[in-house]
Structure 1
Amino acid sequence: MKRKGIFVTATDTGAGKTYASLVLGHLLKDKKIDVGYMKPVQCSGDDASKITNALDLKDDFNLINPYYFEEPLSPNTAAKRAGRKIDPQKIIKAYQKLSAQHEMMIVEGAGGLLVPLCKDYLIADLIKDLELEVIIVSRLGLGTINHTLLSINQAKSLGINVKGVLFCNTSKNKGGIPEQTNPSVIKDYSGVDILGQVPFLDKVDQQAIVDKCSNAININKIFNLSDKAITNKLVEMDKRYVW
């Protein structure tokens, strides 16, 4: 399976994966890149539909969100209580269909790496089966160093390539010394790249996101866009000139 996107995981639930996924999607669209989005499993809420609408995606929603459960629980528990079973192959096939229709994919996980989807199958296993690199979305505040380093080390031990850490500020609080120093500490102790910070936004429309986030997030590194930018430039030149 050819890698053509990123898997968005996090230190835990509520760290800002959905917020980050939305921002990344809009930044890709601003670069005229055809982006697809997938939320394999959602337990309660309507995050998947909100992002689908915000990014104006026309894909079959059953591919975007193959499994939905009413209760806000871990996927395996929510499925069991609903009398259902999550089939990883269904998710993989849905991803393959979506990936074939888009230049780049954003796949948003549930919780963190070790969240179980079904018996003997974790989010980490899905990431490996999809053959995607991950970014780890993390909080900025006190306590994030331990959570983030644990997630990074776990990913590495499982053979999952960590593209880097993306911090997410989901409140207006500007923070203090922990918020200012945690990113550099995590970089020093993990060796992974810090990909930027998603700032708190009063508005989450595309223009607001582009204005506030373009210089705050290393979108080119996350999606390996440097080579793609050169290719796109050559394509545009081909359209204008006859060689």
Structure 2
Amino acid sequence: MSRNLFITGTGTEIGKTYVAALIVKTLHDAGMNVAYYKAAMSGNDRRPDGTLIPGDALFVKECAQISQSLDSMCPYVYEHAVSPHLASRLEGNPVRMTVVKVKFQELCRKYDYVVVEGSGGITCPVGYDEERIQLEDIVRNLHLPSVMVADAGLGTINGVVLTHAYMQQKGLPLKGIIFNNFHPGDVMEEDNRRMCEEMTGLSVLACIAKGDKVIHSLKAEGLAALFE
């Protein structure tokens, strides 16, 4: 069975998929057998034949140059660019926890490492009408440790501290923080890093600048050590 890691974030559009792709790429480039998984993916385009393209999965696949099939990366793909619980209501395809677990376990049997990405922030509802599923339920059911992705800029202290407090209250283990869109030497961003560490007790594992193709401060062995 595989070792696994969940990528959560302080909200949507802060770079979870980008960071997940870099983690997958780093492990793959080091010769490790690694896969990507996301339970539900919304805001996707359609192919000419009308089928949906799982955009985040495609980005990870192309960035990391992995051979894993797109179909195995995400069991629930939606067109509407809204929370998965609403997209599933609009499109008539509700998320089922049993399906999420079965598809995840299939990857666990085939790969040594599985990177699991969340949708939005940790409180994002994935299902509601048919079966009430929060992201935290997926993390708990799949027994995943997490790392938190946060934007390095203004406002991040509040998002990081609140996300940490919520996950701590819910008993969801956090391995550390990864800052995205980081500008080395920027006074505010350097202070954000220090304050987030002091206020949460978590370590900032890496700071990623826009356009980085590698995670400079974390090599494959260090990343692999975060998985459980």
Give the TM-score of the pair, scaled to structure 2: 0.87
Shift of 1:3: 6.3
> Using a 3 Å threshold, how does the CA distance of structure 1 residues 133 and 12 change in structure 2: closer, same or farther?
same
Shift of residue 193 of structure 1? 1.5
**Which of 126, 145, 148 is the matching residue for 2:160?**
148
Matches for 1:1-243 after TM superposition, within 5 Å: 4-45=3-44, 46-119=55-128, 120-169=132-181, 176-201=186-211, 209-210=213-214, 213=215, 215-217=216-218, 220-224=221-225
- For 2:141, what is the secondary structure of its paired residue? helix
Distance between the aligned counterparts of 1:137 and 1:175, measured in 2?
A: 20
**Aligned-pair Cα RMSD in Å:** 2.1
Look at both structures and tell me which one has the larger radius of gyration over its CA atoms: 1
SS of 1:62's equivalent? helix
Match of 1:232 in 2: none
Distance (whole Å) between structure 2 residues aligned to residue 63 and residue 96 of structure 1:
11
How far is 1:180 from its partner? 1.3
Contact 1:10–1:136 (8 Å) recurs in 2: yes
In terms of mean alpha carbon deviation, does 173-182 or 3-12 score higher? Answer: 173-182
Tell me, what secondary structure is at the counterpart of 2:41? strand
Output the amino acid matched with 2:193: P
Structure-2 separation of matches of 1:225 and 1:14 = 23
Could you tell me whether the CA contact under 8 Å between 1:18 and 1:47 is conserved in 2?
Answer: yes
Q: Contact 1:145/1:185 (CA < 8 Å) preserved in 2?
A: yes
Partners of 1:222 and 1:145 in 2: CA distance: 24
Distance 1:190 1:221, change over 3 A: farther
CA apart distance, 1:50: 2.1
Distance 2:78 2:108 in 1: 24
Q: 1:3 to 1:182 in 2, by over 3 A?
A: farther
How many angstroms apart in 1 are the aligned matches of 2:143 and 2:134? 14
State how far apart, in whole Å, the 1-side matches of 2:133 and 2:158 are. Answer: 25
Q: Deviations over 1:112-169 (max 9, x none)?
A: 1110011232001100111010010001011000001100111111111001000011
Regions of 4+ moved over 6 Å:
none
Partners of 2:39 and 2:109 in 1: CA distance: 16
Deviations 1:1-42 (A, max 9, x none): x66121001000011001101111111122211111112211
Stretches of structure 1 lacking an aligned partner (at least 5 in a row): 227-243
Distance 2:188 2:114 in 1: 33
For 1:24 and 1:200, how far apart are their aligned partners in 2?
A: 15
Q: Distance in 2 between matches of 1:197 and 1:100?
A: 32
Which amino acid in structure 2 is aligned with residue 168 of structure 1? Answer: N
